């Protein structure tokens, strides 16, 4: 049986997120490059309450950092969306703890994995800091020029969306909903399966897509609905409108620098992983020793 200190589990479940950890570290390394949002208020200021739990301005600021939303882009609609997602996540985490879902082995493993990932990336981030400080204007401009859909040709899509907090049960429902042709059908299917979800209007930037995904969205935006997945939720969306909103100047340079730092972290992670594999402290049991190429050599004279 897997056991973990209850207070630790509860705290981890509320705050853990298993995706875009690399970008979070990049933002932390570059925190000094951006000023705090005036709308967020002092770091410890309580801005909302979810049951008995407070939501602070510092937490909201952290959500902006994760989403890479610069202070000058934090209008009321953006704040409403980001704060709404934060509050919903806390509410769902509370309900999960009340339902004792944090005691399920699979959930415990996810929490432990998230903690290990955060700690590992924090360690790697410390080693990357020196290299990050050496990133110059030439590298930044080259990155900006190589990905125009994130900068000069950036688009902001107005979308109708269905957001589903991901759990093992929800993932199965998402898979069942993917073949459906409209948001109405997806909404109905999720209601039938009693899967918690939220339907709303929102905005998505083309900078959030890979080049391949963006090409698919552009090709079929007038006819199809799409699905994307974040670390904590699945999102079905239909494009309802768009506008070109280039990202240039200091804001573009800051985003590009963050992305380059994230690349450095990924590269460093690969190096560390190789070193760990060869480390004498790593011992594999069979059949994994054979799979990993770590079998002990046969003893001389063995029959």
- In the chain, where the domains are located: 1-134, 155-245
Conformational region of residue 76, where left means phi above 0, alpha means psi within -120 to 50, and beta covers everything else: alpha
- The answer, yes or no, to whether residue 227 has pLDDT greater than 90, is yes
Q: Stretch 162-188: mean pLDDT, rounded?
A: 92
- Position of tokens 């932390």? 28
CA atoms within 13 A on the CB side of 132: 28
- Position of tokens 């509050």? 87
Say how far apart CA 87 and CA 118 lie, in whole Å: 22
Which pair of structure tokens corresponds to residue 80?
A: 């409403």
pLDDT digits (tens, 9 = 90+) for 34-88: 443 344 445 559 999 999 899 999 999 999 988 888 888 889 999 999 999 999 9
The reply to whether the predicted model has a pTM over 0.85 is no
Q: Stretch 247-268: mean pLDDT, rounded?
A: 88
pLDDT of 3: 36
């Amino acid at each position: 049986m897997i056991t973990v200190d209850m207070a630790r589990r509860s705290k981890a479940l509320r705050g853990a997120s298993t995706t875009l950890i690399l970008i979070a570290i990049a933002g932390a390394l570059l925190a000094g490059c951006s000023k705090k949002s005036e709308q967020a208020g002092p770091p410890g200021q309580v801005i909302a309450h979810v049951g008995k739990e407070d939501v602070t301005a510092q937490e909201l600021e952290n959500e902006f950092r994760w989403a890479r939303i610069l202070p000058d882009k934090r209008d009321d609609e953006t704040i409403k969306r980001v704060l709404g997602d934060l509050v919903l996540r806390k509410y769902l985490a509370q309900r999960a703890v009340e339902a004792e879902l944090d005691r399920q082995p699979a959930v415990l493993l996810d929490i432990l994995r998230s903690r290990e990932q955060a700690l590992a990336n924090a360690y790697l981030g410390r080693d990357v800091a020196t290299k990050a400080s050496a990133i110059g204007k030439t590298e930044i401009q080259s990155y900006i020029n190589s990905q125009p859909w994130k900068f000069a040709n950036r688009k902001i899509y107005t979308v109708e969306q269905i957001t589903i907090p991901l759990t093992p049960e929800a993932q199965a429902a998402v898979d069942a909903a993917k073949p459906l042709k409209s948001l109405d059908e997806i909404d109905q299917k999720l209601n039938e399966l009693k899967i918690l979800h939220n339907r709303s209007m929102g905005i998505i930037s083309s900078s959030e897509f890979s080049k391949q995904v963006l090409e698919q969205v552009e090709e079929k935006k007038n006819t199809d609905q799409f699905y994307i997945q974040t670390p904590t939720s699945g999102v079905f969306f239909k494009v309802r409108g768009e506008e070109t909103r280039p990202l240039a100047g200091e804001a573009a340079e800051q985003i590009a620098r963050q992305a380059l730092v994230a690349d450095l972290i990924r590269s460093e992670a690969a190096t560390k992983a190789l070193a760990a594999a060869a480390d004498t402290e790593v011992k594999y049991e069979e059949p994994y020793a054979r799979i990993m190429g770590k079998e002990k050599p046969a003893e001389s004279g063995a029959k």
